[in-house]
A and B are shown apart, each in its own frame.
Chain A
Amino acid sequence: MTPEQWHRVKEIFEAALGHAPEERSAFVGQACGGDESLRSEVKSLLSSYEQESQFMETPAAALAAQSLVKEESAALVGQQLGHYQIVREIGRGGMGVVYLAQDITLGRPVALKLLPKHLTSDPNRLRRFEREARAASALNHHNILTIYEIAQLDGLHSIATEFIDGVTLRERIKKKDLALSETLNIAEQIASALVAAHEAGIVHRDIKPENVMLRRDGYVKVLDFGLAKLTEQQTVKRVNASAAVAGTNADTGIMGTVGYMSPEQARGESVDHRTDIFSLGVVIYEMMTGHMPFEARNAAGAIVPIAEEEPPPLAHYSPEAPAELQLIVNKALRQNRDERYQTATELLADLKSVTAKHSAKSRFTARRLSLLAATLAVAVGGLFWFYASSRTVKSSLPPMKVVPFTSVEGNEFSPAFSPDGNQIAFAWGKTEKGGHMNFDIYVKQIRGGKDLQITSDPADEMEPVWSPDGQKIAFTRLSESEVAIFTVPSISGAEHKLLSFGPKTKWNQKAGGLSWSPDGKFIAYSSKVSAGQPYQISLIATDSLEKRTLTSPPAQSTGDDLGVFSPDGRTLAFERISNDGVSADIYLQPLSGGEPKRLTFDNVIPRGLAWTADGREIVFSSKRAGPDSLWRISASGGASERLALGGDNALYPSVSIQGHRLAYVTMKGSIDENIYRIALLGSSNRWSSPTKFISSTQRDTNSQFSPDGKRIAFESSRAGNYEIWVSDSDGSNPVQMTFSDRELTGTPRWSPDSRQIAFDSDREHNWDIYITSVDGGLPRRLTTASSDENVPSWSRDGRWIYFSSDRTGKREIWKAPADGGEAVQVTKQGGFLAFESVDGKFVYYTKDFRDGGQFSPGIWRTPVEGGEETLVLDSFNAENWGDWALVEDGIYFIDSDAKGDWTLRFFDFAKRSATQIAALGQDIFTNGLAVSPDRRQILYTRVDLTGGVDIMLVENFR
């Protein structure tokens, strides 16, 4: 480009800036005449200018300063400040730098915020801040960050708080994919925090996305209550001095604060709790639109707050924004605080009403619902409407609302509405002694009242359906001796066997898919006539017991199931499952005969289907687009449409005949590993029955007592990933010891002095052994080979770490010096999990897979210095490689008995035989058996599948 051309570019560019953005293109076109290269250059520059008007607006030195300060803070990493070991920086802002640190005395991770000196140099302000922060530290609410300590550490003012594993709301907003339901959920949780704080008389003063953390488990935590006191005066001064050019907070270089301030706060007036309501309004607006409500660009392109004007409606940026939310935002953002929501409680109630209406749109919400359901069930034990009446929402139709119908222990399945639509029959599986789950039929009133137990047989009763007159309930009963369909009075009473399919066999596993015809004359069911035949749907006449086969599935298919009569009784909708048992579609079979019509073409098995009351549509659950969700499709065909209900976890829908109610099943956390404990009773030789010892809704496993008996290390996914946690010996005070962004860290093993823990982890994308100090600090990587190394354990003198490695191409046990150094191979014929004998002379170990893919059974041993291996315990099923523990005179282990039940046994080295300690039934176990040093307690991990399935009820369904 010649200097002349460039000059021309600049002139046109400058002139174009004098025009409104939407007119610039036309202007440039005109100004450039026919010069296409000139035109495209100016346009490209204009577009660059418009995209990033803040570019280079902050002088370079301020940016440089940030860099230098960052390096400064990096220097603190690894250092000890007071009783905190700094692990790494996790965030920064105008209020200082935040580090992940380990509290050495209490052995827990904390977020340690070091306040910058310029904020703490004024003693008066500091005192005021401390008073405020101490008041805030008394707040105890699950949406408020817990403050542990406010202290001066080596001259630096600091605040130690709970460590949150998650991201800030600012980061979340930047991703620009916040769904409505997630926005509502976050807003509700912030509002909930405000309710608690305001009740305690604490105003936050600085609600903004930087001060909201989103934990991985869905919890939202509001940070820094009361801390705004520190910056308050400064901020006000700045706003007054430069209201026109603010927008970017000069102290922090971070967008914010000014834009979230209430008008009274920006004017430097005294504020009350209603300033937080305004700020939350701004945050909601931003979550919905990605924009601040009060923003505009001045001539220089800087963003300036224009608080006097009405913000653009949410729909301007976000067309799907519900009108109710607009009303809520409007009310929160009123300039005059007397016109705003007067309490956070009111705001919260209105948010909840919007949520109730839009609850189906995300899994996030569904999870909240079930959480809420559980809480409410505990509190009251009855049916509860968490739907809060709305004052601001105006709508001609009552909103759909989702409420938990059952939220009790056990699994509740197969909801079926009574003909009057006011009761639901369902199958309720409860865990009985020995771990077996037994299903019985119950009836429960929608308006509350006691559950009515209809069946109590030790066999499982499933799939209740009502007779159209509401007098009877039909169900299937499944036991080893018989598979059969029964009827029973709906108020319970004498059962009547309608049809038997004979004993349960390999091929005759079930009969089911019951549906009672609207005229009451037939019950449809699905069954298998003989081995090798597909399931077929048949009808049985309830009076004559005459049977006829209705559907004829292809011979090679799994068959037809889940037949449901249409409300007019003319059509039976059912699913036809192909031979793989996974692909299926919905078909409609005319009762008058003929070929069924295929309705869906998903090749995905529907998990439950139901007709709408008008018979025009079918509601079904399917994984056709991701997780199990509810869909509707016209009975005359067409495209399936997702229901705005139930989120990503809704199965087996049922619709009431009146059509205004829908029930579905939600399954939450189907696998929950918990650590159980049995203990010796008094001075006797008897063991207690198992009790849940360390548990969370996530997976807790692989526990180990420290040799001094004071603590327990275990592996838990409660923070998202599997990481190592340490609790007191009674299971209390769990503290996360390791932090990584990888999925798997585990198998903690204590050093003999109880001061270090060896573990395995794929944190650096390769399985390796690490050692961490219980007192904090970063873990040390022990193995560095590119092969897989895992399941460590210590030699009794603490000098070696045994582990398994596949570096020879075959999994063998190796050992490496605990201080680092060359690893030495220990086993030659396979080895996986090793423990050294108490006298330090032998290594006991299990083996890995054999060539055939099966685990090699048995526990073996070999001398520490090398030599022949010997089979010690031949019966041990090494698939449960972690379910054994070595003590001086024997081995505790979990194994199955002849009947297939699990037992905890002790193998005595001297007697060379095993005795039973406890029968564990048919529970499912995962690895991890721990024996306390005094051998009075044993911990093991059990998989609890219970409590996972609940029935949800939708009111005002349409």
Chain B
Amino acid sequence: MSSSPPNVTELLRNWSDGDDEAQEKLFQFVYNDLHRQAARYLRNEHPGLSLQTTDLIHEAYLRLIDQQHVEWQNRLHFFAIAAKVMRRILVDHARGRQAAKRGGSDIRLPLDEAMAVLPEQDLDFVALDEALNKLAQIDAKQSQIVELRFFSGLTVEETAKVLDVSERTVKRDWNVAKAWLRRELRRGGRAGARA
């Protein structure tokens, strides 16, 4: 890792210009930032359960981007990146937890018990991730809609703008995607409960 933070604005611009490496760097950077920020957010200052994804991402955006030098299109790109980042964070987290469960260490046991008493079972992010990859093969745009709506917490309107499609399309694809994913998760035998 370089000691000085990369210029996110520049990375975004490069990415818009087709620089794939810029996208990867951007991803890493946003990932680290969001993860750190989320942890701080959750542990210290706010009730964890009322955290809003968009707050988090907007905040990251404001901090990371030199606003005067970024265009609207880039901002939307940022959201697209952030959605992927959130997805990665959550899936990694879920993987880690599953691994811990399999390990079955004593320290982890209370956590499992705690999860067992939660009124609602967690969504299986790992299974969702796999299903979403499958959906992307059928309909890439639709899987992006899911990323933005679910992982970035964007509204239908915002999602429509980012992807440059009609709101109606977003609504429709979102509904169908949810039904499809739900079915996939169920078929996979995993409990993908209400989220």
A contact set with B: CB distance below 8 Å: 1, 3, 6, 9-11, 13-14, 17, 44-46, 48-49, 51-52, 54-74, 77, 88-92, 94, 116-119, 170-171, 210, 250-255
A17 to B171, CA, bound (A): 11
| Interface contact A254-B48, CB-CB below 8 Å | no
A117, B47: Cβ atoms closer than 8 Å: yes
Extra contacts besides A3-B139, A55-B181, A58-B195 (10): CB < 8 Å:
A14-B176, A48-B180, A56-B123, A63-B122, A66-B48, A68-B42, A68-B48, A69-B48, A72-B42, A89-B111
Q: Give complex CA distance A46, B90 in Å.
A: 28
Quick one: given A89-B110, A170-B119, are A61 and B49 in contact (CB under 8 Å)? Answer: no
Do B90 and A60 touch across chains, with their CB atoms under 8 A apart? yes
In the complex the two chains form, is B182's CB within 8 Å of A9's CB? no
Interface size on B, residues (CB 8 A): 57
**Is B51 among interface residues, defined by CB-CB distance under 8 A?**
yes
* Among A9, A44, A70, A253, contact of B183 (Cβ-Cβ < 8 Å): A44
**Least CB separation from A71: chain B residue:** B111
Tell me how many residue pairs across A and B have CB atoms closer than 8 Å: 168
> Which positions in B face A, CB cutoff 8 Å?
38-39, 42-43, 46-54, 56, 86-87, 89-90, 93-94, 97, 107-108, 110-111, 113-115, 117-120, 122-123, 125, 138-139, 146, 149-153, 172-173, 175-176, 178-183, 186, 192, 194-195
A77–B110 CB distance below 8 A: yes
| Of B93, B139, B152, B183, the contact of A64 (CB 8 Å cutoff) | B93
**Sampled A-B contacts (12; CB under 8 Å):** A3-B138, A11-B172, A13-B175, A13-B179, A45-B179, A49-B182, A56-B149, A61-B52, A61-B151, A64-B89, A74-B111, A251-B50
In contact, B38 and A61 (Cβ under 8 angstroms): yes
Most chain-B CB neighbours within 10 Å: which of A17, A69, A74? A74
B150/A55 in contact, CB under 8 A: no
State whether A90 touches B38 (Cβ < 8 A). no
6 tightest CB-CB pairs across the interface, nearest first?
A: A61-B53, A59-B153, A69-B48, A49-B179, A89-B114, A48-B183
Q: How far is the CB of A46 from chain B (nearest CB, A)?
A: 7
Per DSSP, chain A at the interface is helix
CA distance A44 to B179 in the complex (A): 9
Return chain A residues, CB-CB under 8 Å to B107: 74
Shortest CB distance A209–B (Å):
9
User: Is B172 in contact with A62, judged by CB distance below 8 angstroms?
Assistant: no
Q: Given the known inter-chain contacts A88-B110, A88-B113, please indicate yes or no for A9 contacting B176, CB distance below 8 A.
A: yes
B93 near A252 with CB under 8 A, answer: no
Closest-CB distance, A338 to chain B (whole angstroms): 34
A118: B residues at CB distance < 8 A: 46-47, 50
Evaluate contact between B39 and A89: CB separation under 8 angstroms: no
Minimum CB–CB distance for A48 against chain B, Å: 4
Distance from B120 Cβ to chain A, minimum over Cβ atoms (Å) = 7
- Among B53, B97, B119, B153, find the residue whose CB has the most chain A CB atoms closer than 10 A: B119
Q: Which among A3, A52, A60 is the interface contact of B153 at CB below 8 angstroms? A: A60
- Please state if B97 and A67 are interface contacts (CB–CB under 8 Å): yes
**When chains A and B are docked, how far (Å) is the Cα of A52 from the Cα of B146?**
16
Most B C-beta atoms less than 10 A away, residue of A1, A49, A73:
A49
- Taking a contact as CB atoms under 8 Å apart, the answer to whether B86 and A116 are in contact is no
Q: Give bound CA distance, A66 to B120, whole Å.
A: 11
Complex CA gap A74/B52 in Å reads 23
**Which listed residue, A9, A55, A62, A210, touches B49 by the CB 8 Å rule?**
A62
Query: Measured between alpha carbons, how far is A89 from B113 in the docked complex, in Å?
Result: 7
Quick check: B175 and A49 within 8 Å, CB to CB?
yes
* Closest residue of B by beta carbon distance from A250: B50
CB distance from B66 to the nearest CB of A (A): 25
Q: Quote the shortest CB–CB distance from A47 to chain B (angstroms).
A: 8
Cβ of A55 and Cβ of B111 under 8 Å apart?
no
Q: Is the CB of A54 within 8 A of B194?
A: yes
- Nearest Cβ in chain A — how far from B105, in angstroms? 12
Contact A74 B114 (CB under 8 A): yes
A60 and B152 CA atoms in complex are apart in Å by 8
Collect the chain B residues with CB atoms within 8 Å of residue A71's CB: 111
Name the B residues within 8 Å of A56 (CB-CB): 123, 146, 149-150, 178, 181-182, 195
Q: Which residues of B contact A46 (CB under 8 A)?
A: 179
- Contact yes or no, B194 A52, CB < 8 A: yes
Interface centre among B49, B114, B195 (most CB of A within 10 A): B49
Q: B176 contacts A54, CB within 8 Å? A: no
- Which of A67, A92, A116, A117 has the most chain B CB atoms inside 10 A of its CB? A67
Decide if B87 touches A48 in the complex (CB within 8 Å): no
| Chain B contacts for A6, CB-based, 8 A | 138-139
Q: A72-B43, A253-B49 known; A64 and B194 CB under 8 Å? A: no
